[in-house]
Homo-oligomer: A and B are copies of this chain.
């Protein structure tokens, strides 16, 4: 997406910016990054900064470990990871493949999953790849780019705070989603996992590159943005404003390893008199007005705090919040026919097609 910044590190200075950037690019999902940020802070404090490596810096044969948390963000914020999950996942893969992991990679770039792998990389003494397999956050395990290229998410490893492990080898990624989701629910609603392990050579096609450094730049821009965070955000990524308003209703339930729900937003200022309905499954899926979609997955729909510009995760939406509803264009790979069939509105049960924000708005 963007040129790689060679020689970059994640340290105690720019970690909060990464965390902040993750709230914007998550599309409301991936869980509140605060816990991941604290765990990464502790790891960096003890072991030093984490090197951020462009995918090109790895040899074709190098093994990469895409990883993160899986489950309902509402649960993740209360069911704190043990800290050793990254090591357990790495050991499972190293035992399985008979060689060392060369780099850690967030499987999605958003929420807690943009920062927790930083902690795991620090503890392992490994670099973090400047890439992920979503270019945002999505709720299901077949919603990663390698799936579009017919690549398998197996062997997948999940582990919980008791460091129990479950290793899956499934026939396809839909079965993987079904089985992992069920185990995660049995484990209490969230767990840590490794998915789609592959060599750097195999990752070159599906990887969405530059997403770690982009999130850091986004966070830094918001912190510098002062009174006008929206302009600062718009300078890092093309932003479409969908409407400004106040949250007047929020409905949310955690079931089957997901958090699903909706919010009503009453327009304020220039948008007075408008009523927006936001629907989510871990991530924000669609924004509707008078029953018509204003924006849909896979575009990244984010609620920004009107004053700070911080992204609001779906489990953090509260009555009375003053927010700006914005959208960023989806990573290109998701807007192909195959991409939309995996993550477009119809993949989530909606009876309408993808509405590209750049086309209808902005």
Contact = CB atoms under 8 A, between A and B. Distances in A.
Contacts of A162: 171, 175
Given A164-B169, A179-B187, A182-B182, 11 more contacts: A163-B171, A164-B168, A164-B170, A164-B179, A165-B167, A165-B168, A166-B168, A179-B186, A182-B183, A182-B185, A182-B186
A189 to B, nearest CB: 13
Interface in A168-198: 168-171, 175, 178-179, 182-183, 185-187
A162 B170 CA distance: 9
Interface string A181-219: 011011100000000000000000000000000000000
Nearest to A163: B171
Contacts of A175: 162, 164
Contacts of A165: 167-169
A200 B169 CA distance: 29
10 contacts: A163-B171, A164-B170, A164-B179, A166-B166, A166-B167, A166-B169, A179-B183, A179-B187, A182-B183, A182-B185
Contacts of A169: 164-166
Contacts of A163: 171
Interface residues of A, number: 18
A140 to B, nearest CB: 15
Nearest to A162: B171
A265 B267 CA distance: 69
Interface string A122-163: 000000000000000000000000000000000000000011
B167 A178 contact: no
A278 to B, nearest CB: 31
Nearest to A171: B162
A165 B157 CA distance: 12
Contacts of A171: 162-164
Nearest to A182: B186
A179 B164 CA distance: 10
A194 to B, nearest CB: 14
B167 A167 contact: yes
Contacts of A185: 182
A180 to B, nearest CB: 10
Contacts of A164: 168-171, 175, 179
Interface centre among A167, A170, A171, A185 (most CB of B within 10 A): A167
Contacts of A170: 164
A311 B186 CA distance: 36
A183 B185 CA distance: 11
**What 9 A-B pairs have minimum CB-CB distances, sorted nearest first?**
A167-B167, A182-B186, A165-B169, A164-B170, A162-B171, A166-B168, A164-B171, A182-B182, A179-B186
A268 to B, nearest CB: 45
Nearest to A154: B164
